[in-house]
Amino acid sequence: MDRAAIPNVLAERYATAPMRDLWSAEGRIILEREYWIAVMKAQRELGLPIPSEAIESYERVKGEVNLGSIMERERVTRHDVKARIEEFNDLAGQEHIHKGLTSRDLTENVEQLQVYRALLETRRKAIASLQALAERARQWRDLVITGRTHNVAAQTTTFGKRLSMFGEEFLMQCQSLEDLIERYAARGLKGAVGTQLDQLSLFEGDTAKVEALEARVVQHLGIGHRLKNVGQVYPRSADFQVVSVLCGLASSPGDFAKTLRLMAGHELASEGFAKGQVGSSAMPHKMNSRSCERINGFHTLLKGYVTMASGLAGDQWNEGDVSCSVVRRVMLPDSFFAMDGLLETFLVVLSQMDAYPAVIDRENTYYLPFLMSTTFLMEAVGQGVGRETAHEVIKEHAVAAVMALRQGEISQNDLLDRLAQDSRLGISLERLQQLLEEGRERCGNAQAQVDAFAQEVEAWVARYPEAGGYRPGAIL
Amino acid sequence: MDRAAIPNVLAERYATAPMRDLWSAEGRIILEREYWIAVMKAQRELGLPIPSEAIESYERVKGEVNLGSIMERERVTRHDVKARIEEFNDLAGQEHIHKGLTSRDLTENVEQLQVYRALLETRRKAIASLQALAERARQWRDLVITGRTHNVAAQTTTFGKRLSMFGEEFLMQCQSLEDLIERYAARGLKGAVGTQLDQLSLFEGDTAKVEALEARVVQHLGIGHRLKNVGQVYPRSADFQVVSVLCGLASSPGDFAKTLRLMAGHELASEGFAKGQVGSSAMPHKMNSRSCERINGFHTLLKGYVTMASGLAGDQWNEGDVSCSVVRRVMLPDSFFAMDGLLETFLVVLSQMDAYPAVIDRENTYYLPFLMSTTFLMEAVGQGVGRETAHEVIKEHAVAAVMALRQGEISQNDLLDRLAQDSRLGISLERLQQLLEEGRERCGNAQAQVDAFAQEVEAWVARYPEAGGYRPGAIL
Amino acid sequence: MDRAAIPNVLAERYATAPMRDLWSAEGRIILEREYWIAVMKAQRELGLPIPSEAIESYERVKGEVNLGSIMERERVTRHDVKARIEEFNDLAGQEHIHKGLTSRDLTENVEQLQVYRALLETRRKAIASLQALAERARQWRDLVITGRTHNVAAQTTTFGKRLSMFGEEFLMQCQSLEDLIERYAARGLKGAVGTQLDQLSLFEGDTAKVEALEARVVQHLGIGHRLKNVGQVYPRSADFQVVSVLCGLASSPGDFAKTLRLMAGHELASEGFAKGQVGSSAMPHKMNSRSCERINGFHTLLKGYVTMASGLAGDQWNEGDVSCSVVRRVMLPDSFFAMDGLLETFLVVLSQMDAYPAVIDRENTYYLPFLMSTTFLMEAVGQGVGRETAHEVIKEHAVAAVMALRQGEISQNDLLDRLAQDSRLGISLERLQQLLEEGRERCGNAQAQVDAFAQEVEAWVARYPEAGGYRPGAIL
Amino acid sequence: MDRAAIPNVLAERYATAPMRDLWSAEGRIILEREYWIAVMKAQRELGLPIPSEAIESYERVKGEVNLGSIMERERVTRHDVKARIEEFNDLAGQEHIHKGLTSRDLTENVEQLQVYRALLETRRKAIASLQALAERARQWRDLVITGRTHNVAAQTTTFGKRLSMFGEEFLMQCQSLEDLIERYAARGLKGAVGTQLDQLSLFEGDTAKVEALEARVVQHLGIGHRLKNVGQVYPRSADFQVVSVLCGLASSPGDFAKTLRLMAGHELASEGFAKGQVGSSAMPHKMNSRSCERINGFHTLLKGYVTMASGLAGDQWNEGDVSCSVVRRVMLPDSFFAMDGLLETFLVVLSQMDAYPAVIDRENTYYLPFLMSTTFLMEAVGQGVGRETAHEVIKEHAVAAVMALRQGEISQNDLLDRLAQDSRLGISLERLQQLLEEGRERCGNAQAQVDAFAQEVEAWVARYPEAGGYRPGAIL
């Protein structure tokens, strides 16, 4: 790359090393070489005259990746796969790779392998996120907050329950990712138009050997299923499934991030800072939700990649063409880089976020009298006051209290005083306060719901213990 | 509706009655009433004082839907759910519905029920399409066609195999639909902010009864799973999953339709006509692929609905708001209407399409000599001609034949004559023709692949026999 | 329509009558008939033997629209344009319409006319919105609020300035709408593949007459420009321009609505209620931003329609096909209905919204000490305190104040007290309070910016005085 | 960058140097430094104490860009703008830049400058494309081809006219680009929340000086307009305008490419090869439309970037946040890279494409008898045959001819023979052939339309003569 080389900003600023390696030029060349070696081994076992020493020669040099030399060859041959074949042959001093293969018998499978491994890596980080989210939910299981609908106070809940709500959405999307991984199918060796003619020619029409070769090659990839009927390419709607599952998976972090940005605006919580940081020195009150905003940004990117992927779906002409090529070169890695950056950021926020119980309590106190008005009504009715009367009285005072607060006549909610002073209702201030205090902690099944979420997460972590230990690195 | 009422064009022109009924105002009101009745029955069984006669009264009138009367009530109450409660109560002469429910405890579940049933209806038509596609694939299992990549002749295949290629993509997407149906989860009864406070109040804190009530209600819906942690609403990324699975499902019909439009341009095949029709009387050659074009159009719509659905995902504020309301009112029914119209059109095309073997054969004959050049090369090498020489000679003549065809010097491919006359190659015209004839039918594993596809379809039809019998109606 | 007829929900619930009329089946038929009449008049003037009495006969019946009768004819002819020709001819007792026209010479132009008039109607409402927004900006020109970045207090501004900020974005998008209207070009009369062969046949090769006919017909449409080179259809990227301009236009109302929803969460402002309403009687504090949420919902819809429109752009095969047909039937009217509903809702919110100066002032007071810390620093430096020392002292107290507020030790910002008590700084409480009061009103150029915005709006209203008077109706 | 650095594939493989330079890290730093220098010059002229030697010091070192050193600083300061300030100051040995600016007063304007210059560069290539397209249209102005609708033969046109059809669409989109450039407005110097408080502080409240400073700075940028009311950021719907105009501009190349891919499938035309190339040596007939497919691919990418851009529009919270940051870092450069690659590829295809008149003529001959059936009908009627009879006879033979062709009974269209032999019609074969020959060249106004297009292009090239000379480089 010359002086003005432009890096892939998603890869370089946001994605982590395992994801970068998977999609790097070097990483891909090594995947291709391993694939060719696996093909040769299978071909040899099935009787093709490929000496084991030849295979060993390839094995020895498979890690020697020289991008400049390959690009040199491409400029001459004007064919990228040919250039990579020649390079590998010359390094090994052999000519045994790529027998009976068309270019797509190589590239489609290797690209699917990249996608498949990227899905596994995504699952690893997703489960780590689930675990971190469940820990936070448990931590704040009993911290009562003012639940909001329409961004307005509605009923009390707990912060842990709010997090579990996003958690269950995440579980739903993880299951969708899991289903996708489970059913993902490799194209296999199919030849120029999908009929396996090229493979059959190699084995002189022996369909059993062609079948055996393909089975072993797909086994090498580690992908659980194999497509039977394809053209030159695997159906591009498979890519759409991948990208739309990623976009779905980003939804729960998206909701979480948006809500945390809202809470930060009320100083109820913040995404926190790296240890030692204390915010802008000029404005220490300003704890910007930069990472949460970034999570929402990654999601916006993924929505665009979904549009690109949908643009390729249902657009195959005959046995296929390459109008998808430039799109897939951009969309597939960039989707995974964005997803990777999103999950990494999510993990960092989960590890650093903070809640401010005092401010939360202040908000609860402010709104609670309004949220309890139905309870007061029932109490009055229980005491023998007519339902219509009670309703009228409470509404009258509630409206007055709201107006007084909004017009600055009062700065604390004085609804209880107003009600206590109204003889039509006949409830003492003490009783009202008692009811209020009881109501303060009344969050329905919230805590049990948190427990249920945490339990489900445990089952996932038990299934994928390697994910459990994952810790995010530092982010910009 | 007044004189200038605007119908939903997707529903009225393209969708079929079962799908329309599901999303019609009347259909929805009946679903709601059945839901309320199911809730009352469960509440009664769990000890709430709801007389069985009351439930019977509701049962009796549940089919009496008067939209005008409901709209009248809504204008007064300014609350749509309230209006529908009052109407049902007045009809039944009772006041027992909606106890312990918030509006969303009704509407979320009923909307999910609409989605779920619409998914089942879609699966029915999808499997019927699979069956029809498999029949066509079997019909043309052995019809050799010129396979194309980059829209240019590449290698022979069979028409049945081409259809199976689209068929396997359809299977892949049907599996994704199946996975979605399998994991689909209802919101259940959760109250105003998701903590089940309202339900617990109804049963005086008896969590077991709340659990039992919810379980029975979701069982009534027939949806296999239940969400545990939600806010006011179920996560909108669930809708994104639905719409993106629909869009994925449209991909194979999309590919099929696009390819059939291409084939029609070469007169190799056509989407056919309704029985008795013979095309435009002025221009009988003009068999327009209108239905295939429409299939591609439906898919374009679905891609837009995916963008709408992704716009709602990751945008939940706190326990939820209604910024999704107008979007879901449009996107959910319209996605299903578009999908329904697409599958109906697909089924019609599958039932009427035609192939023209004579034209197909003409194309094969035109291209076959080019497609066989590698075989000729190997024959010459086998006869002792040097590989480089043979390659040079064949290329020289092939280029000349292409140029002569393009420049109008010849109108039939004469490559065989050119090769036979060149003594450097030493292959007789007879031998060349023999090789060509052998090559004409050489389609690798194409036929076996068709059989494999047909077999998989049989398994699906066996699983869903009610789908097998479905026949499309007439389309515009 | 039968019992289960499904209305277009955007048209019926949200759009206004002028927009509905434009896209209704009846409205369209009248546009078509007026178009045919204009064509006949021009043809007559150019010498074609069309009696003026015939034209009068058509004029007389053009308003008699019987959709059922037309649909009856379509079922027989299986051709929608033919059905409408026959109906009009039979009503008039003449056979002079549609001479020398292909179907698309009719439908393309009439659809463009619908688009064009819908653009004009949109402009009218957009300018009315500008005016209402400018009124509000002027009303709250001097109302100081706490400006926020990252949803966190940053610097003071005024509410009028915040509205003007959204106003300028609206002006930018109005200009884009204006540019589009200005350059919009009609397809004109071009025949089956765009060469005007059909028109030339009618006038026996007289190109001048064909030119004159087309010019007059486009003049009838009132569209300023004419395309010269088209195929069967006008380029579909013209539709993409339209829908993307609409989506752009929705952006400023979108930003406004989102910000008002945020402000409502802090009780700084609300979208208000219709006169007489006082919110939920049970929870009078709950002034939900339903209309603002709906505005954001409409925008989400428009973003999906943009995806549909982009799906048609760049997808023309040869001289055109109808894979765009079902897409345009849905996307064009629905985009305009959504836009119309959005602007109507925007106008309602602008007419009913409210600000709560007391709550605003409370917020200012809470944050102002933090926002002024730089001023305090400069004051101290001016008094001879070392810059580093001053900075250290202020930061120390600011952090302490923030922490005390978050941890509930204090409920009012006491930074001034803390600073006044620190002898290292040497500024008296009176001086600090004086600086604070000066700072409270310091909003830079905010007010002048409001005036500039209002002035620009005046110029627009002066240019389109008919828009100025527009008042929204009631919304659901 | 370490070993596994991932390049931006759009920039490195497809975009050209001017576009890469504009968006490279180095290019941006130089733009920033020039901007700071322009600000200092204006500040000095307006009386701020900035020595001219200081400015000269900055001028001297502005080209010394050391990305590594800047990144080193960013790791310490954790603030990217601060790091770049320090680097520039240290290089110059001065501390005069960035006075009275917030970070966004720098970055917003510089990013808008990148966008603006990228728009100008795009316009340059667009006009060069127009010119190349007009040349091709003129070249094939009179080459009669079979026009197609629904991908089926419809009426004759000329190849030049077909290209002009795409040309006029391109003109329409160029005008939209032109309008955008014309109205594009810079954010200017506005301070932290848009009120210019920071600028006013610098000039001690002198609004005239603030106004003068901003005017000069925007003049330096070369952008014609200035926004008055913004928050922290300029409205993100301005980016949506940019990306959607790019996507619109790609539509005509998209239509062109798709149609050329179709024509290549019929061997009527091809996108050609670089000089000296002769296609695949194994399959010389296989002239793949790889570049045209790539053009369609670039357009698919742009549609996705439109979705990203629309995702940012209408999503501003208060005075702004950075949830747009990662999106804009990706979407803005990548949109322009994709557009640049698209136009470069378009120019290459235009320079290398070829038409095959002999094949075109063969197609015309095959379809012409069908396309002329209306003319034959009129001839018969002119000779006294009843209209209904003539219609019936022609239809009978036309259907028979179509069927015979499709069923392989004949390989040439023999409709004329069939008609001549039918005594009911009474037209001789000679007369039919004469009519056919006359019809062969009858393309309406096609040629005049080509001329009109070419003339419009000339006006554009005259306006932007620097664009006229542009020639594309080699593409991969």
Give pLDDT tens digits for D324-344: 999 999 999 999 999 999 999
Q: What is the pLDDT of residue B408?
A: 85
Q: Which residues pair with D151 in a beta bridge?
A: none
Strand, helix or coil for residue C7: strand
Q: Do residues D58 and D33 lie in contact, with contact meaning Cβ atoms separated by under 8 Å?
A: yes
In C379-408, the residues whose Cβ lies within 8 Å of chain A are: 391, 395, 398-399, 402, 405-408
Asked if D329 is an interface residue toward chain A (Cβ–Cβ < 8 A), one would say: yes
- CB burial class (10 A; 0-12, 13-18, 19+) of residue B89? middle
| Contact between residue B273 and residue D399 where contact means Cβ atoms under 8 Å apart | no
Handedness of CA D184, D189, D192, D197 (dihedral sign): negative
Name the residue of chain A whose CA is nearest to C306's CA.
A307
SS (H, E, C) A179-197: HHHHHCEECCCCCCCCCCH
DSSP C240-270: HHHHHHHHHHTHHHHHHHHHHHHHHHTTSEE
Smallest CA–CA distance, residue B112 to chain D, in Å, is: 26
CB contact under 8 A, C11 and B9: no
Contact criterion met (CB < 8 Å) for A326 and D8: no
- Taking CB atoms and an 8 Å limit, are D8 and A4 in contact across chains? no
Query: Cβ contacts (< 8 Å) between B192 and chain C: which residues?
Result: none
Contact yes or no for D195/C157 (Cβ under 8 A):
yes
Of A336, A345, A304, residue with least CA distance to A120: A336
- Chain B contact set for A227 (CB, 8 A): 168, 172
DSSP label of C149? E
Among the partner residues A151, A311, A316, nearest to B317 by beta-carbon distance: A151
- Give Cα separations from A76 to A101, A106, A415, D470 (angstroms): 22, 21, 84, 26
**pLDDT value of position D274:** 64
Please state the length of chain A: 476
Does the distance separating the beta carbons of A402 and C284 come in below 8 Å?
Answer: yes
Contact between A301 and D327 using a beta-carbon 8 Å cutoff: yes
* Rounded mean pLDDT, B184-205: 94
Whether residue B306 and residue C308 make contact (CB cut-off 8 A), yes or no, is no
- Whole-angstrom distance, CA of residue C379 vs CA of residue C425: 9
pLDDT value for A2: 43
Contact (Cβ atoms closer than 8 angstroms) between residue A55 and residue A40: yes
CA distance B147 to D19: 40
Q: Report how far residue C162's alpha carbon sits from residue C319's, in angstroms, rounded to the nearest whole number.
A: 50
C-alpha closest to that of C349 among C231, C439, C263: C263
| 0.90 surpassed by pTM | yes
Verify whether the Cβ–Cβ distance D151 to B407 is below 8 Å: no
C228-278 pLDDT, tens digit per residue, is: 999 999 999 999 999 999 999 999 999 999 999 999 999 999 998 765 554
How many degrees, rounded to 5, is the angle at CA B175 between CA B173 and CA B181? 110
Residue D62, number of CB atoms within 10 A of its CB: 18
C329 to chain B, any CB pair closer than 8 A? The answer is: yes
- Closest of A65, A60, A56, A2 to residue A28, by C-alpha: A65
Q: CB pairs under 8 A, 24+ apart, for B90-96?
A: B91/B61, B91/B64, B92/B54, B92/B57, B92/B58, B92/B60, B92/B61, B93/B57, B94/B54, B94/B57, B94/B58, B96/B40, B96/B50, B96/B51, B96/B54, B96/B55, B96/B58
> Would an 8 Å CB–CB cutoff place A176 in contact with chain D?
no
Residue B472 tokens read as: 């499309």
Minimal-distance CA residue of chain D relative to B391:
D282
B375 contacts chain A (CB < 8 A): no
The neighbours of chain B, by the rule of 3 or more Cβ pairs under 8 Å, are A, C, D
Residue of chain B nearest C295, judged by CA positions: B323
SS3 call for B100: coil
C444: which 2 tokens? 């830079």
Neighbouring C-beta atoms of residue D466, cutoff 10 Å: 10
Distance between C291 CA and the closest CA of chain B, angstroms: 9
Helices (H), ranges, C184-323: 197-202, 207-221, 237-249, 251-265, 290-312
Contacts of B212 (CB under 8 A, 6+ apart): B42, B46
* CB-CB under 8 Å, C391 with A281: yes
Beta bridge partners of B156: B146
CA B473 to chain centre: 17
Distance from CA of C31 to the nearest CA of A (A): 35
Give the C-alpha separation, C173 to D235, whole Å: 10
Minimal CA–CA distance to B309: which of B115, B176, B21?
Answer: B115
Asked if the C-beta of B170 comes within 8 angstroms of chain A's C-beta atoms, the answer is no
pLDDT tens digits, B333-387: 999 999 999 999 999 999 999 999 999 999 999 999 999 888 888 888 888 888 8
Residue with tokens 């600055």: A408
HSE toward the beta carbon, residue C314, CA cutoff 13 A: 28
- Residue-level pLDDT at A282: 59
How many Cα neighbours within 13 Å face the side chain of C150? Answer: 20
**Residue from D247, D270, D271, D285 to probe the interface with B (highest B Cβ count within 10 Å):** D285
* Closest CB from A6, A288, A301 relative to D308: A301
User: C166 touching B, CB under 8 A?
Assistant: no
Whether ipTM tops 0.85, in short, is yes
- Which candidate from D154, D176, D318 shows the least CB-CB separation from C147? D318
User: Measured between alpha carbons, how far is C103 from D382 in angstroms, rounded to an integer?
Assistant: 26
B175 and chain A in contact, CB less than 8 A: yes
- Residues recorded for chain D: 476
For every one of its 476 residues, what pLDDT tens digit does chain A have, with 9 covering 90 and above? 344 579 999 999 999 999 999 999 999 999 999 999 999 999 999 999 999 999 999 999 999 999 999 989 988 877 889 999 999 999 999 999 999 999 999 999 999 999 999 999 999 999 999 999 999 999 999 999 999 999 999 999 999 999 999 999 999 999 999 999 999 999 999 999 999 998 999 999 999 999 999 999 999 999 999 999 999 999 999 999 999 999 999 999 999 999 999 999 999 999 987 655 545 555 767 788 999 999 999 999 999 999 999 999 999 999 999 999 999 999 999 999 999 999 999 999 999 999 999 999 999 999 999 998 888 888 888 888 888 888 889 989 988 998 898 888 998 899 999 999 999 999 999 999 999 999 988 999 999 999 999 999 999 999 999 998 788 987 77
Closest CB to C8 among B6, B14, B297: B6
Mean per-residue pLDDT, D426-430 = 93
The pair of structure tokens assigned to D360 is 């075109």
Question: What is the model's pLDDT at position D468?
Answer: 82
Instruction: Supply D285's token pair.
Output: 């007939």
C84, C32 contact by CB (below 8 A): yes
Contact status of D16 with chain C (Cβ, < 8 Å): no
Is pLDDT above 80 for B228? Answer: yes
Please tell me the distance in Å from B79's CA to the nearest CA on chain C: 9
CA-closest candidate to residue B25, choices B364, B329, B315, B257: B329
Subunit partners of chain A (3 or more CB pairs within 8 A) = B, C, D
User: Which residues in chain A have their CB less than 8 angstroms from residue B197's CB?
Assistant: 155, 442-445
C-alpha distance from B286 to closest chain D C-alpha (Å): 6
Alpha-carbon distance of B472 to B352, in angstroms, equals: 11
Q: Which two tokens stand for residue C198?
A: 């059909």
- A308 and D CB contact within 8 Å: yes
Nearest CA in chain D to A4: D24
> What single string gives the DSSP state of each residue in A253-307?
HHHHHHHHHHHHHTTSEE---STT--S-SS-TT----HHHHHHHHHHHHHHHHHH
Cβ-in-10-Å burial (0-12, 13-18, 19+) of C269 comes to buried
DSSP string, B223-267: -SEE-SS-SSS--THHHHHHHHHHHHHTHHHHHHHHHHHHHHHTT
> Which residues are CB-neighbours of C298 under 8 A, at least 6 positions away?
B326, C14, C250, C338, C339, C341, C342, C345
State the CB neighbour count (10 A cutoff) for residue D437. Answer: 10
Residue identified by tokens 């799109």 is: A327
Q: What's at D216, amino acid-wise?
A: R
Spell out which residues of chain A touch residue B311, defining contact as CB-CB under 8 Å.
Answer: 303
- Round to whole Å and give the CA distance between B91 and B62: 8
The partner residue sitting opposite A323, judged by closest CB among D7, D10, D293, is D293
Q: In this complex, which of D229, D319, D450 lies closest to C453 when CB atoms are compared?
A: D229
Placement of tokens 């309320």 in the chain: B36
Q: Are A286 and A279 in contact (CB under 8 A)?
A: yes
Query: CB-based contact (8 Å) between B107 and chain A?
Result: no
DSSP B129: H
The secondary element (H helix, E strand) that includes residue B355 is strand B354-355
Query: Do B183 and A197 count as a contact with CB atoms less than 8 A apart?
Result: no
* Residues in chain A closer than 8 A to C149 (CB atoms): 288
Closest chain B residue to the Cα of D146, Cα to Cα: B265
The strand pairing partners of B355, in sequence order, are B269
Chains that touch C (3 or more CB pairs under 8 A): A, B, D
Chain C segment 25-44 residues within 8 A of D by beta carbon are none
Q: Is A365 on the interface with C (CB under 8 A)?
A: no
SS (H, E, C) A304-354: HHHHHHHHHCCCCCCCCCCCCHHHHHHHHHHHHHHHHHHHHHHHHHHHHCE
- Is the backbone of residue B408 left (phi > 0), alpha (psi -120 to 50) or beta? left
Chain C touched by D160 (CB under 8 Å): no
User: B204 to chain C, minimum CA–CA distance in Å?
Assistant: 21
User: Is D305:C306 a contact under the CB 8 Å cutoff?
Assistant: no
Closest by alpha carbon to C80, among C47, C108, C103, C99? C103
